[in-house]
Chains A and B, each alone.
Chain A
Amino acid sequence: MAAGPAPPPGRPRAHMPHLTKMERVVVSMQDPDQGVKMRSQRLLVTVIPHAVTGSDVVQWLTQKFCISEEEALHLGAVLVQHGYIYPLRDPRSLVLRPDETPYRFQTPYFWTSTLWPAAELDYAIYLAKKNIRKQGTLADYEKECYDRLHTKISHAWDLVLMQAREQLRAAKQRRKGDRLVIACQEQTYWLVNRPPPGAPSVLEQGPGRGFCAASRVHMTKSADFYKQEIEYCRRALGRTRVKSSVCLEAYLSFCGQRGPHDPLVSGCLPSNPWISDNDAYWVMNAPTVAAPTKLRVERWAFSFRELLEDPVGRAHFMDFLGKEFSGENLSFWEACEELRYGAQAQVPTLVDAVYQQFLAPGAARWVNIDSRTMERTLEGLRQPHRYVLDDAQLHIYMLMKKDSYPRFLKSDMYKGLLAEAGIPLETKKRVFPFSWRPRHSSPSPALLPTAVEPTAAGGPGGGDGVA
C-alpha cells in the first residue's frame, strides 16, 4: 500500500521534470568549493551545522546563473515552496526571505520526486507520531485528516500505531540535534504534500496527469525489465517517420491556406459576436443555411473531408452526383456512417437494409466495389457488427475522392456557387465605443416560457423549451 499503484506497462515517462531540474540546482549548491556558504545554527545547548541564510541563497543563485536578483528571489522561492529548502524559525510559512533568516536543505529521502505520490499510510503514521509527541494537540486540519484517515484505512490502524511508536523509539537512539533535524525534515515534507487549508498546493496537477514515480533505477535483474525494453524498441522501430523538412513544409502550407479562414487570426465578418453583440456571423454560418458565405464555399476546395463534413456542401455534392448518375456512392457512404455511429440494437437490421439496397446483385442502387472487397464484405456479413462495412466504405470514399470530387470542383455548378456566394459586409463601427442597443441577457432557465400548450402538459411533449 505504501508503494503506490503499480507502474503502467512500458517505459515510465519522465514525470515532473521540473523537480529533476530543481534537484540539480540543490545538488550544485552542495559543492564544497562553489556551493552556498554554510553556517551553524546555535540552539540552547546543541549546535547544528549546515544552515544557510536567505540572502546567501539569493546571492549564490544570482552569481551561478547570471540572473537578476528578482529572478533569483523567485527561483529561491520556488525551491522553498517545493520543500527542497525549509525555514528554521517559522517552519509553516514556506517563503524565501532574502535576509538573515536561516534555512536548511531537505534530505533526499523526503524530496518530492522520491516519495511521489505521498501515501496515506505514511501520513497516518506521521500524524500518529505527532499525536504522541504533542500529547494530542494537533492543528484542526490535522485532526480532521486524522479522523478521515482512520475511517479510510481503519483496518491498518494497528500497523499505524505500532510503526509510529517504534519509529519514535528508533529516533531516540540518535542524539538530540539529529532528532530535531529529522523531525523538521518530516514536518516540511508533509507541509508541502498535505498543505494546510488556505495554503496553495504546489504539487497540484491537472486531471489526467501524474501517475506513480518513474523509477530512475533500472532493475536489471528482472526479466520484466528486458521484456519492456524489447517491446519499447520494437514499437519505436515500427513507427512511421517523416522528415521534419517535409512535415514543416506541410505545416506552413496548411497555415497559409487556412489563415484567411480563421476568425481569430484574420477577423470575422460581419463582426465578432462576442464584441459587438450582433450574432449575424453565427446566423450566416449556421450548419444548414440557404446561402453559404464565400469563405465557406472556398473551404470545400481544400479537401474532400471538408466538403463532406459541411452539410450544405454535402447536399450540393449529392446534387452534382445525381446529375452524373453516381449518387448511390454518397448514399452508401452515408448509410455506412449511420451504421458506424448508430445504436447497437439497430446494427443487424441496418446491415441487412444496406445489403439489400446497395450490395446485393441486382439491387436498386448497386455500388461499384471491386471483387476482392466485395468477397470480404460478404464474408463479414455473416456476423454483422458495426464495422463490417468499413472496407467497402473506404473503397467508395476513395473512389469519390479521386474521381467525382475533382470533377465537382471543375464543374459549372461549383463555379456558380462560388460566384453566387457573397462576402458579408462589415458592420459600421459605432462612433462611440459603447453600443446603443441594450444587451440581451439569455432567459433564465428558472422562468417557464408562457407559450406551453395546456393539452400537452402531462404528455411526453410537455415541458419543452425549458432547458
Chain B
Amino acid sequence: MAREECKALLDGFNKTTACYHHLVLTVGGSADSQNLRQELQKTRQKAQELAVSTCARLTAVLRDRGLAADERVEFERLWVAFSGCLDLLEADMRRALELGAAFPLHAPRRPLVRTGVAGASSGVAARALSTRSLRLEAEGDFDVADLRELEREVLQVGEMIDNMEMKVNVPRWTVQARQAAGAELLSTVNAGPSSVVSVEERGGGCDPRKALAAILFGAVLLAAVALAVCVAKLS
C-alpha cells in the first residue's frame, strides 16, 4: 500500500540523514580523513536518492485530488516529517561544505582540531548504506573534487525543497503529530543498560585506585564468605 511504502522510504531517509549528521560531526576534528570524506559523499548520495524517490511518491499522492480525508491527514503528517528531515539534511550539507573548505586535507593549511575522537566511522557509514561493512580507500586529493560536487548538490537539494513547497501546500499548523511528548521513554528497553554504563563511566573519572579498591574489597568479601562456609562445615 502507498502509505506503508512512503513510511518505509521515510524511515530509510531518516536513518541516512541521522548517519550523515553523525559523520559530519567529526569533520575538522582528529578523525577527519579522506576516507571520512568519501564516506560522507556516499552517504549523502544515498540520502539524496532516497529523498528524490520519497518526494516523488509523496507529491504524487498529495496532488491526487481524490484522496480520502483521513488518508490525506496521514500523508500530510508524513510530508511534514519528510520536509523537516530534508531541511536537516540540507543544513548538514552546508555545514559539511563550510567545514570541509575550512579544514582542507590535501594541503595542511590548518592543523586539524584534536578532539579526542580517533576511531573509524565506517560502521556508521555502513549503517547508512544498509550494508554489512564498508571498506573504502580514498585517494590523496579526494576532498578537492568532493567539495565542488558538494556545492552542486547543496544547490540541488535547495531547488528540490523549493519545488516541493511550490507543488504541495501543507500548512504546518494543521498537522498533528502522532507521538506525544515523552513517547520516547515507552520504547527504550534496549537502550537501558548501555546508557547506564556510559553514564557511570563518564562520572567515574580517571581514578584507577577506585577500581583497585573495589577489586580488593570483592576479594576480601569472597575470602570471608569462604571462611564462614568452612567454619560452618567444621562446626
Contact = CB atoms under 8 A, between A and B. Distances in A.
Q: Do A and B come from one complex?
A: yes
Interface of A: 1-4, 26-27, 30-32, 35, 38, 41-46, 48-51, 89, 102, 104-110, 114-115, 119, 121, 128, 131-136, 146-147, 150, 154-159, 161-185, 215-217, 219-222
B179 A44 contact: no
B113 A109 contact: no
B154 interface: yes
Q: Classify the interface of chain B: helix, strand, loop or mixed.
A: helix
Contacts of A159: 14, 80-81, 84-85
B188 A104 contact: no
A106 B195 CA distance: 22
A128 B154 contact: no
Given A109-B24, A215-B98, A30 B113 contact: yes
Given A1-B84, A155-B80, A173-B123, A30 B111 contact: yes
A157 B204 contact: no
Chain A to chain B: the 9 pairs with minimum beta-carbon distance, closest first? A173-B123, A108-B28, A166-B18, A157-B177, A50-B114, A150-B181, A50-B116, A3-B91, A133-B195
Contacts of A50: 30, 114-116
A146 B181 contact: yes
A144 to B, nearest CB: 12
A206 B232 CA distance: 77
Contact of B25 (A32, A169, A185): A185
Contacts of A154: 176-177
B57 interface: no
Given A104-B115, A165-B184, A132 B191 contact: yes
Nearest to A163: B18
A134 B184 contact: no
9 contacts: A35-B111, A105-B114, A105-B115, A135-B185, A157-B180, A171-B22, A178-B119, A180-B202, A182-B26
Nearest to B194: A172
A219 B151 contact: yes
B198 interface: yes
Interface string B2-21: 00000000010011011101
Interface stretch (B48-56, B205-213, B223-231): B205-213
A219 to B, nearest CB: 6
B47 interface: no
A155 B173 contact: yes
A107 B25 contact: yes
A182 B119 CA distance: 12
A109 B114 contact: no
Contact of B116 (A26, A48, A169): A48
Interface in B63-80: 77, 80
B205 to A, nearest CB: 6
B179 A132 contact: no
Contacts of B21: 167, 170
Contact of B181 (A147, A168, A222): A147
A32 to B, nearest CB: 7
Given A2-B91, A155-B177, A216-B101, A181 B116 contact: yes
B119 A174 contact: yes
Contact of A221 (B77, B152, B204): B152
Contacts of A220: 151
A159 to B, nearest CB: 4
Given A109-B24, A128-B184, A170-B19, A175 B119 contact: yes
